[in-house]
Every structure is written in C-alpha cells, then in structure tokens.
Amino acid sequence: MSEAAAISAAVLISGSGTNLQAFIDQVDDGKLDIDIAVVISNKPDATGLKRARKAGIPVECVEHEAYPDRESFDTALIEALDRYSPDLIIMAGFMRILTPVFINHFAGRIFNIHPSLLPRYPGLDTHQRAIDAGDEWHGSTVHFATEELDGGPRIIQGTVPVEPGDTASSLAARVLKVEHRIYPKAVALFAARRLVYRDGAAYLDGTRLDEPLQYP
C-alpha cells in the first residue's frame, strides 16, 4: 500500500461488468491501490451488480428510463455519486451518453474505455467497422471523458491483430482481454497521482501525453 490514502472510485456499468471484475481482482491481489466506493448501473438486471455485491461493494441503480430526458437522469446520477465523494469516475461499459452537466461536474475525473484505436471509429460497431475497412490492427483506448463523444485525451491503447476470418464477435473477445489489462494500468497511474487532466490534455509525470501509452 502507498503512504497516501487510496483514492475513492465509483464504477458505472450497464452490463456484465467484466472490466469491473478486472478492477476487483487487482484490488484483491494488492496490485491496484483504490477503494471502489460504489458501483452504479442504469439497468437493475446488470450482471455486474452481482459481481459488486459478491465483492462486498455498495451498489445503486439509477434507471434512465425513469427520467424524462438525459439532463434529469444525469442530475440524479450526480446526486447518487456525490453521496460517495469519489475521486475518480470509471465508466466500464456504461452505455449512456453523458451530458455537459455531468461532464463538467466531474471534470478531469472521468475515465472511459472505448473498443477502438481512437481516433478511429468513435461510436458503435467498432469491431465490424475495423474488419470492413481491412485494418490489420484493432484494439481499445482508455481516455478522459469530455463533452466530445469518445474524443477526450487518450491515456493508453492496447492492440490486437485482426486475423483472417475474424467476425465482430471473435475480434471483440480478443479486444476485451486487452481491456482487462490496460484499464487497471490507467487507473493505477491516476491513483499514484502521476496522471492528471489539465487544460484539456492528459499529463503523465508532468509531461503532456500527445500520444497514448501503448500496450503491449
């Protein structure tokens, strides 16, 4: 454990929570010095909530369908998160586009992971788009979340080859394995106070990250 207190993190999920499990495992193994204060989902049946409960992590559900618009949902989500005072918001398969209200409230403290080598293929269907384009390499990117969808400063990327005969599903499965490695690495840098968001950019050890770190 580091001498400084572990940072408090809140994890947002919508589905199975495999990236959440990667964080839980690394915390349990002593490889990641964070306190997962809460896991919040917009879907009450998200499998990831079961993972959190099994690990003894508080869970909450803020159902987006209960709110008339994105802004009111985001306001409710902010209220739920603020009860835990997180230092970092980790979006791990959270399938909601956040409004400026949310982004600005937690500015510089929101991580997202996107299944492509950004800036290629923001948005959906990234694996099929990479196959259709004939790309030799594909992967995933951890970045700071900003008001620009999938456009915030990139922190780290993990790459996998696009193999002959790949389908979107087979490619997605290999990318997911890489995500489980790179996402904790990015969070560890933030937890160690080595990685910060400043003036619209990511800085590592005081140096601006104009290009993301690469894994492997």
Name the residue among 137, 111, 136, 114 with its Cα closest to residue 125. Answer: 114
> Which CATH number do you get for residue 196?
3.40.50.170
pLDDT score recorded for residue 3: 57
Q: By residue range, what is the domain housing residue 93?
A: 7-215
Name the residue among 106, 152, 113 with its Cα closest to residue 9. Answer: 106
Q: Is residue 1 part of a domain?
A: no
pLDDT score recorded for residue 4: 72
The model's pLDDT over 92-119, given as tens digits with 9 standing for 90+, comes to 999 999 999 999 999 999 999 999 999 9
Q: Is residue 176 part of a domain?
A: yes
Reported pTM: 0.96
If you average pLDDT over every residue of the chain, what do you get? 96
Q: Using alpha carbons, list the distances in angstroms from residue 88 to 7, 38, 45.
A: 8, 11, 24
Total of domains in the chain: 1
Helix and strand counts by DSSP (H, E) for the chain? 6, 11
Q: Is residue 2 part of a domain?
A: no
Res. 180: pLDDT tops 60: yes
Average of per-residue pLDDT across 111-133: 98
Q: Is residue 153 part of a domain?
A: yes
Q: Is residue 23 part of a domain?
A: yes
Name the residue among 111, 125, 110, 94 with its Cα closest to residue 15. Answer: 94
Catalytic site residue from 64, 105, 114, 127: 114
Q: Is residue 164 part of a domain?
A: yes
Q: Is 114 annotated as catalytic?
A: yes
